[in-house]
Amino acid sequence: MNKSVAQKRADELRRLLEHHNYRYYVLDDPEVPDAEYDRLIRELESLESTYPDLVTPDSPTQRVSGTPMEGFATIQHRVPMLSLGNAFSETEVAEFCRRVSQGLEREDIIFAAEPKLDGVAISLTYVQGLLTTAATRGDGERGEDVTANVRTIRAVPLKLLGDGWPALLEVRGEIYMPRSGFDAFNRKALANGEKPLVNPRNGAAGSLRQLDPQLTAQRPLAFYAYSTATRDQLPDTQLDTLERLKDWGIPVNPEVRRVQGLAGCLDYHRRIGLLRPTLGYDIDGVVYKVDRFDQQGFLGFVSKAPRWALAHKFPAEEEITRLVDIDIQVGRTGALTPVARLAPVFVGGVTVTNATLHNEDEIRRKDVRPGDWVVVRRAGDVIPEVARAIHERREGTLAEFQMPEVCPECGSRVERVEGEAVARCSGGLVCPAQRKHSIRHFATRKAMDIEGLGDKLVDQLVEEGLIHTVADLYHLSHEQLTALDRMGGKSAENLLKALEKSKTPPLNRLLYALGIREVGEVTAHSLAAHFGTMEALQDASVETLTEVSDVGPIVAAHVAAFFQQEHNRQVIQALSDAGVKWQALETQVGEQPLAGEIWVLTGALSMPRIQVKNLLESLGAKVTGSVSAKTTTLLAGEAAGSKLKKAEKLGIKIISESDFVDYVGSHGLSV
Ligand code: IVH
């Protein structure tokens, strides 16, 4: 290729790469797979190495500079980087709205409402559309020059797109580490015996302060802008300004909204609070900003914070407390879970006294010992966990935790399979803890749905020796039940009716209810759909089992092992003898209700995407990544973007998450 052809191709590649970056980071709607992006970048790299004078400083290949820095230079901020006033309660927000209204002498002010990202503040300066400096907040007046590191972050454009940008533009925003990147980074670090990152915020801060940009480049960082420090050639409201930044290729959080008055603010706070677990990055609250800049100017500042903005924080997700002791809980499958008994602590909006410690390896890795001060984390509705111990605060010598060698519930030997993290009680259904759990599980709503058979009652029935297996439930008599504590004639009657009613479950529900390891509702449904009858499934080999969609070798091995055990077959026989008659699946193989349909998922869904995908596939649908003329249905979650627009344009059927849940429910499944 001669030089002028190479020059043309290099220009074209840079334009393409900028375009794909924009699609990926600003629109959150990649057009091409990552591999294609990598291919383009490699092509450009190869052209540039053949003709080194074709290299431009803003070329996408020039993100990582070769030489590590020696400490960071100091940069004086043109406009100081301020902080925000905080509120934790609705009363404080009401107080803020009142003050703003009073200052502006009008009601129902329009605010820009934004998620408050939990990352690191950064100030980016663009001169003639090119990124020239990136500085941390520092003390607000002077920050550190981290330009070389920030250049490695693909979400930050090296060159502004489009036109109409001012000669000097200073953008302020937050560098953060997405949760997925954080998890992946830590998985790798642990596998390599390296120290994992404490949390995504520390991860982002630490990555930015690497002296070698090569290291920063390997960290999964991203960026959202939230304001500018210059006002030249920009609109006169906050939201319009953010929109303009987007046009220039600068990522802006898709959840920013205009809201009105106190009610609008509180509503936004609630909504984002609900979305929080699905966002994919950490936020610690929302920010309200008076939208109009002239009104902001009128309100001005108090000491170091603007009067026109407020951070409305969520309850902290991490708090410190004392680890009193470590107990062992025995689960349905015999798994021994160490549970932390804690001095009560208010975290994530509730008082927590117990938290999971996962398993023995985790305890060793985190070196957590009874008596330690620990950080407890409760994010959303997730089970609280001990995130780490504060070793600096350890007093005296504390004894290390030891996993017991025998089950604390039944005295059977505790086993730990090579390569597995979980220790298990070997007692099987001899162990009352396992028996109780498996019977409780059998009765739950998504399993046999036996109303009135709660955990306490199951415990009592097992302890009194009235039931040993789930089949015994169907032999309970009115007299036996009324002889129990707190069981009246009416309740006993209702329970017997509920048991009677549960005798005709669809096969998939019964399979789920049996509590086979690794067999959740979706897998149970796939198995029932594939085999049709219990007999066919009972005799299936591991090989045949793996033919079922979403059944891998591990699940297949668990299923086969379950049916090989004589006492499990006996329980199934006893259920049948007691009059339990399982029905074929409502939706039979070959007549799957969504067969032939092609679905696309978009927006924030409140359940894991993989779960939704599995469900759809078990109903016969195909799930693809992008909307095309072939797409039959779009499942649109919150804040769906360009895929939704495209589907609307193509006249494709669009259904909301709640409609989807109803639809799936009507097919005897639940999400
Ligand atoms: S505005 C004068 N908007 O929160 C207003 N800040 O205490 C300056 N932050 O370290 C900040 N998300 O980095 C603003 N949407 C958002 C934000 C946000 C996160 C951080 C910011 C600063 C701290 C302010």
Asked whether 116 lines ligand 1 (CB < 6 A), one says yes
Burial of 19 (0-12, 13-18, 19+ CB in 10 A): middle
Asked whether 306 lines ligand 1 (CB < 6 A), one says yes
Label residue 662 by pLDDT band (50, 70, 90): confident
Q: What's the pLDDT at 522? A: 85
Q: What's the pLDDT at 595? A: 79
Label residue 670 by pLDDT band (50, 70, 90): low
Same domain (yes/no): 156, 271:
yes
Mean pLDDT in residue range 121-130: 97
| CATH number of the domain residue 55 falls in | 1.10.287.610
- For the segment 172-218, what is each residue's pLDDT rounded down to a tens digit? 999 999 999 999 999 999 899 888 888 898 899 989 989 899 988 88
304 has catalytic annotation: no
Nearest CA-CA partner of 249 in 497, 18, 549: 18
Same domain (yes/no): 634, 490:
no
CA of 174, closest atom in ligand 1: 13
> Atom 1 (ligand 1): residue with closest C-alpha?
226
Mean pLDDT in residue range 312-320: 87
CA 73–ligand 1 middle distance (angstroms): 23
Same domain (yes/no): 485, 522:
no
Q: What's the pLDDT at 590? A: 47
Same domain (yes/no): 300, 348:
no
| CATH number of the domain residue 603 falls in | 3.40.50.10190
Same domain (yes/no): 323, 307:
no
CA 116–ligand 1 middle distance (angstroms): 6
What is d(CA 593, CA 532) in angstroms, rounded to the nearest whole number?
Answer: 16
Q: What's the pLDDT at 69? A: 66
What is d(CA 75, CA 138) in angstroms, rounded to the nearest whole number?
Answer: 9
Same domain (yes/no): 223, 166:
yes
Domain-embedded: residue 398:
no
Label residue 67 by pLDDT band (50, 70, 90): low
Asked whether 226 lines ligand 1 (CB < 6 A), one says yes
- For the segment 534-545, what is each residue's pLDDT rounded down to a tens digit? 999 999 999 999
In which residue are the tokens 């940069």 written? 75
- For the segment 368-377, what is each residue's pLDDT rounded down to a tens digit? 999 999 999 9
Same domain (yes/no): 235, 323:
no
Asked whether 239 lines ligand 1 (CB < 6 A), one says no
> Atom 18 (ligand 1): residue with closest C-alpha?
116
Asked whether 83 lines ligand 1 (CB < 6 A), one says yes
Total number of domains constituting the chain: 6
Q: What's the pLDDT at 62? A: 86
The Cα angle at residue 520 between residues 516 and 524, in degrees rounded to 5: 80
Asked whether 86 lines ligand 1 (CB < 6 A), one says no
Question: Which span out of 238-247, 581-590, 622-631 was modeled with the highest average pLDDT?
Answer: 238-247
- Residue 36: which domain range? 3-62
Whether 431 and 407 have beta carbons less than 8 Å apart is answered as: yes
Same domain (yes/no): 98, 149:
yes
CA of 121, closest atom in ligand 1: 13
Asked whether 287 lines ligand 1 (CB < 6 A), one says yes
- Whole-model pTM: value is 0.62
Asked whether 114 lines ligand 1 (CB < 6 A), one says yes
Give the torsion through C-alpha atoms of 492, 498, 501, 505, to 10 deg. Answer: -130
Q: What's the pLDDT at 502? A: 94
CA 203–ligand 1 middle distance (angstroms): 18
Mean pLDDT in residue range 268-287: 93
Same domain (yes/no): 264, 139:
yes
**Bridge partners for 176 per DSSP:** 222
Q: What is the pLDDT of the chain when averaged over all its residues?
A: 90
- For the segment 460-516, what is each residue's pLDDT rounded down to a tens digit? 999 999 999 999 999 999 999 999 988 899 999 999 999 999 999 999 999 999 999
> Atom 23 (ligand 1): residue with closest C-alpha?
83
| CATH number of the domain residue 377 falls in | 2.40.50.140
Phi and psi at 323, nearest 5°, equal -85, 110
Nearest CA-CA partner of 389 in 406, 375, 371: 375
Mean pLDDT in residue range 66-71: 67
Query: Beta strands of 186-280 (E only): which ranges?
Result: 222-228, 257-260
Asked whether 82 lines ligand 1 (CB < 6 A), one says yes
Domain-embedded: residue 144:
yes
CA 519–ligand 1 middle distance (angstroms): 45
Q: 658 or 79: which carries more pLDDT confidence?
A: 79
CA 33–ligand 1 middle distance (angstroms): 33
Label residue 589 by pLDDT band (50, 70, 90): very low
Ligand 1 pocket: which of 111, 116, 288 to mutate (most atoms within 8 A of CB): 116
Same domain (yes/no): 381, 308:
no
Label residue 588 by pLDDT band (50, 70, 90): very low
Question: Which of 116, 289, 366, 646 does the annotation list as catalytic?
Answer: 116
CA of 256, closest atom in ligand 1: 15
- For the segment 348-395, what is each residue's pLDDT rounded down to a tens digit? 888 999 999 999 999 999 999 999 999 999 876 678 999 999 888 898
- For the segment 220-242, what is each residue's pLDDT rounded down to a tens digit? 999 999 999 999 999 999 999 99
